[in-house]
Amino acid sequence: MSDIVVKCRQCRRLIAKQPLSSFLTAHGQPVADIYGCSLTCVGKLEDVWYLDELTMSDWMRTAVEEGNFLKDKLKCPNCSTNLGAFDYVSGHKCPCKQQCVPFIHLVKSKIDIQYANRSPENTSEHAEQS
Ligand SMILES: [Zn+2]
Ligand SMILES: [Zn+2]
């Protein structure tokens, strides 16, 4: 199982390292590939990653506990940029209205993610394709 490294895009701090299987679609299913598979609900490109709450990082768990398992922002433990949020209250529905989305999400535009054990030469993440 591949591990995924998550960094704050603002300060570059490593904020999580967790298995690919902990990244979920809006329907709570593990994503197959962090680069290739981001179509989640009714063919829409989601702007967030949902996370399996069982695998969340210590700082996220602390934030959730300090928020009494209600709802709040998830801020970078280093630079306090808003990286995402948790919401155990509203039960937000996904666009197709079939499911409640998972409790925790990180905003894709606020973080950088990559496979932990893939060498940089093999990633095409930053390649310009025009
Ligand atoms: Zn940061
Ligand atoms: Zn849906």
Residue 129 lies in a domain: no
Express each pLDDT in 14-26 by its tens digit: 999 999 999 988 8
> Of all residues in the chain, what percent are helix, strand and coil, respectively (each to 5)?
15, 35, 50
- Please indicate, yes or no, if residue 27 is contained in any of the structural domains: yes
Question: Does residue 120 lie within any of the structural domains?
Answer: no
Catalogue the E-assigned strands of the chain. 3-8, 14-19, 23-24, 39-41, 44-45, 48-51, 71-75, 82-87, 104-107, 111-115
Q: Is residue 65 part of a domain?
A: yes
In the chain, % of residues over pLDDT 70? 82
Which ligand sits nearest to residue 40's alpha carbon?
Answer: 2
Residues with a beta carbon under 5 angstroms from ion ligand 1 = 8, 10-11, 13, 76, 78-79, 81
Does a structural domain hold residue 127? no
Contact 95, 101 (CB under 8 A): no
Does residue 48 belong to any structural domain of this protein?
yes
Task: Name the pTM for this structure.
Answer: 0.82
Task: Count up the domains in the chain and report the number.
Answer: 1
Its domain, for residue 42, covers 3-115
Nearest bound ligand to CA 75? 1
The phi and psi torsions of 53 (rounded to 5 degrees) equal: -65, -25
Provide the 10 A C-beta neighbour count for residue 59. 15
Residues 6+ apart with CB under 8 A from 127: none
Note the pLDDT tens digit of each residue in 7-58: 999 999 999 999 999 998 888 888 888 776 555 676 666 788 899 999 999 9
Contact criterion met (CB below 8 Å) for 41 and 26: yes
Ligand 2 centroid–CA 24 distance in Å is: 12
| Residue 126 confidence (pLDDT) above 70 | no
State whether residue 24 is helix, strand or coil.
strand
The rounded percent of the chain whose pLDDT value lies above 90 is 55
